[in-house]
Amino acid sequence: MRLREIPITAWVGLFGIALALFCALFAPWISPYGETEVVGNVWQEADAQFFFGLDNLGRDILSRLIFGARTTLIVALAATVISFSLGIILSFTAAVSGGLVDTVFSRFNDLMMSIPTLIFALVVLAVLPQHLIVLILVMAILDSTRVYRLGRAVALDVAVMEFVEAAKLRGEGKIWIIFREILPNTLSPLLAEFGLRFAFAILFLSTLSFLGLGIQPPTADWGGMVKDNKDGIIFGIPAALVPGTAIAALAVCVNLVVDWLLKRTSSLKGGRGDA
Amino acid sequence: MSNSTEAGGSPARSLRERFPLLSIIAQRMVLSLILLLAVSALIFGGVEALPGDFASTYLGQSATPEAVANITAELGLDRPLVTRYFDWLGGVLQGDFGTSWASRNSVSEQVGNRLGNSLFLAAFAAVIAVPLAICLGMLSVHFRDRIPDKIINVISLAAISLPEFFVGYLLILYFAVNFGIATFPATVYQGMGFMERLQTIALPTATLVLVVLAHMMRMTRAAILSVMSSAYMETAELKGLSGWRAIVKHAAPNALAPIINVVALNLAYLVVGVVVVEVVFVYPGMGQYMVDAVTVRDMPVVQACGLIFAAVYILLNMVADILAIIANPRLRHPR
């Protein structure tokens, strides 16, 4: 792969993701004020000192945005990684084993997918204690159903190939077949799917936080910042739109990169998730 | 969706051979019913099985052991799970969802008022979004890989990434606050005139349309494009049909089944998207009701709303499957 062959849109996407990562990694050093520090009046207008103005409690929006990148990215990434590992392992196991295991896993997956993700999350979060780990796990498990479906479809295509047959005949175990035979050959479509799930996780986390069920205050998080500042909209104060724009921009960037990955692998069997 | 390929018992065989279409449709319906039953068990049983003690959560700070025991008995939580599930299910089948823990009102009454509002909003959005999405999708195919297609592609990619609440607040800020040509919050009440109601829900509808449009359009485009690359389309081109004529007469009929599927999937998505949009616009619908209930952990309301949303979702998916089978004869003979 040559650098010149990467289209401009993908560069924009990569740049946006890198910027968000940079904010997340170096938040305490680059943010002008503290995460929960009150530095002025409520909803003070933007000026040279406060780049995006102040929020509903008089905290600096830019600083909270930078700290929020940290929370949002970490939670979304953790949820995506867990969801992916879970979905891939279960779907590959189902595809390799076949028979009863496949039927049971797939039917249960169908059952889970027959409830809309957001509704399912609302029902479950109504019972579970409010905790970050719980939130990540709920997001991951609900999302893994989508990964499972794609993973199984992709793995079934590979599982019937001669080299898998050969590996089975020479007596390799299931774990070897999953990780050494199937995984390397399905990596491209799965990588694109990973990006797609990550974009979805960012949006999903933001939605939950916006509804007051995600990250709990005073921790800064982009969806929660929209919720905090939403009452200002009626008075024409656009404070809520700043974190909203950040969410949208990051999701667009991830999607741009995914689009490029999908185009590169379009000859392979891949599919866009139904989010 | 799920592939229902299992064959029934032998007595049904003759019936199936005589009415292949009807029997497949009946099979899909029964399958959806079973699915719905399983979902109801999951929503009720799964929720009860999760850690977290309702009574102490419900009481909060004042959870002395006696008070917890009292409230447990009052809410009937001391009875076995299976008994409670069947009581609940029996009530649901008669349209009784129990009483709310928070307000002590009948859940069914609230649901009755709000479900209509939500469905009205979703339906209004669908009426606008579906034709628009299909037209744009066809347009995009017609101009594929040229400037209009690329513009539509980039805009729709951006639109997919926008969270619903962001679109909502953007519209509020511009149309309700800055220009003052729309109303916010979108409060509707009973006895409101039809036109007045439409005017009130203009902004929430616009939000839903924008959110669902891009998705539906991209999927329509993909569906038509996959048909366009088939051999008979090449023939149409080679015999000299104009591009537009080939799309309308040859590609569209064959793309019908996937498009129907796309539309139904997105309608199902619309029903869920309603949740966030209702919260943004303070619209008195099911979504707002459910989110409020989740915040105060009002379980009967959460379970009722969860079940209703899931039921609508399953129903729409079932309709999609059935329409796809009707539109595409090849699906009638599962391998």
CATH code, A199? 1.10.3720.10
Calpha distance A196→A146 (Å, rounded): 11
Residue type, B158: A
C-beta atoms of A124 and B184 within 8 A: no
Cα first-last separation, chain B: 16
CB B324 within 8 A of CB B331: yes
Residue A26 counted as domain residue: no
SS3 B237: helix
> What pLDDT is stored for residue B4 in this prediction?
44
C-beta atoms of A210 and B276 within 8 A: yes
SS3 content of chain A, % helix, strand, coil (to 5): 75, 0, 25
A116 part of contact set with chain B, CB < 8 Å:
yes
Residue A87 counted as domain residue: yes
Residue A12 counted as domain residue: no
CB B274 within 8 A of CB B286: yes
> What pTM was estimated for this model as a whole?
0.83
Instruction: Provide, as residue numbers in chain B, all residues whose Cβ is less than 8 Å from the Cβ of A120.
Output: 306
C-beta atoms of B272 and A119 within 8 A: yes
- B201-239: per-residue pLDDT in tens? 888 888 889 888 888 888 888 887 878 778 888 888 888
Residue A17 counted as domain residue: no
| A256 to chain B: closest CA residue | B157
Residue A274 counted as domain residue: no
Residues in chain B: 335
Residue A8 counted as domain residue: no
pLDDT over 50 (residue A273): no
Residue A203 counted as domain residue: yes
Cβ neighbours of residue A254 closer than 8 Å, sequence gap 6 or more: A13, A17, A195, A196, A198, A199, A202, B161
A247 part of contact set with chain B, CB < 8 Å:
yes
Residue type, B288: Q
Nearest Cα neighbor of A69 from A254, A243, A252, A196 is A243
SS3 A264: helix
Identify which of B157, B169, B272 has the shortest CB distance to residue A118.
B272
Instruction: Provide, as residue numbers in chain B, all residues whose Cβ is less than 8 Å from the Cβ of A117.
Output: 272
A230 part of contact set with chain B, CB < 8 Å:
yes
Nearest Cα neighbor of B224 from B148, B320, B135, B147 is B135
Nearest Cα neighbor of A98 from A46, A45, A25, A168 is A168
SS3 A219: coil
> What pLDDT is stored for residue A112 in this prediction?
85
C-beta atoms of B51 and A248 within 8 A: no
- A198-240: per-residue pLDDT in tens? 988 999 999 999 888 888 877 888 888 888 888 877 777 777 8
Share of chain B above pLDDT 70, in %: 84
Instruction: Provide, as residue numbers in chain A, all residues whose Cβ is less than 8 Å from the Cβ of B170.
Output: 241, 244
SS3 A60: strand
Cα first-last separation, chain A: 29
> What pLDDT is stored for residue B2 in this prediction?
43
Instruction: Provide, as residue numbers in chain B, all residues whose Cβ is less than 8 Å from the Cβ of A275.
Output: 160, 215
Predicted ipTM beyond 0.90? no
The alpha carbon of residue A205 and the mean position of all alpha carbons in its chain are separated, in whole angstroms, by 8
Mean pLDDT of chain B: 79
- A144 confidence band (pLDDT: 50, 70, 90): very high
Instruction: Provide, as residue numbers in chain A, all residues whose Cβ is less than 8 Å from the Cβ of B268.
Output: 116
Number of domains within chain A? 1
Burial class of residue A264 (count of CB atoms within 10 Å of its CB; 0-12, 13-18, 19+): middle
CB B140 within 8 A of CB B217: yes
Q: How big is the A-B interface in CB pairs under 8 Å?
A: 150
SS3 content of chain B, % helix, strand, coil (to 5): 80, 0, 20
SS3 A36: coil
A110 part of contact set with chain B, CB < 8 Å:
yes
Residue type, A263: K
B180 part of contact set with chain A, CB < 8 Å:
no
The residue segments making up the domain with residue A133 are 31-266
Residues 198-227 of A with CB under 8 A from B: 199, 203, 206-207, 210-213, 223, 226
- A15-36: per-residue pLDDT in tens? 989 888 888 888 778 877 777 7
B271 part of contact set with chain A, CB < 8 Å:
yes
Residue A250 counted as domain residue: yes
C-beta atoms of A116 and B272 within 8 A: yes
Mean pLDDT of A155-178: 84
Closest-CA distance, A255 to chain B, in angstroms, reads: 7
pLDDT less than 70: residues of chain B: 1-17, 46-63, 74-78, 182, 191, 330-335
- Using a CB cutoff of 8 Å and minimum separation of 24, what contacts does B138-141 make? B138/B220, B138/B224, B138/B247, B138/B252, B140/B217, B140/B221, B141/B221, B141/B224, B141/B225, B141/B228, B141/B247, B141/B251
C-beta atoms of A245 and B165 within 8 A: no
Calpha distance A85→A82 (Å, rounded): 5
B5 part of contact set with chain A, CB < 8 Å:
no
Continuous segment of H or E residues that includes residue B300: helix B299-327
A133 part of contact set with chain B, CB < 8 Å:
no
Identify the residue with better confidence: A160 or A137: A137
- B149-204: per-residue pLDDT in tens? 888 877 887 788 888 888 888 888 888 777 777 677 777 777 677 777 777 788 88
Q: Is the peptide bond before A218 cis (omega within 30 degrees of 0)?
A: yes
Instruction: Provide, as residue numbers in chain B, all residues whose Cβ is less than 8 Å from the Cβ of A244.
Output: 163, 165-166, 169-170
A156 part of contact set with chain B, CB < 8 Å:
no
Cβ neighbours of residue B240 closer than 8 Å, sequence gap 6 or more: none
SS3 A59: strand
> What pLDDT is stored for residue A3 in this prediction?
67
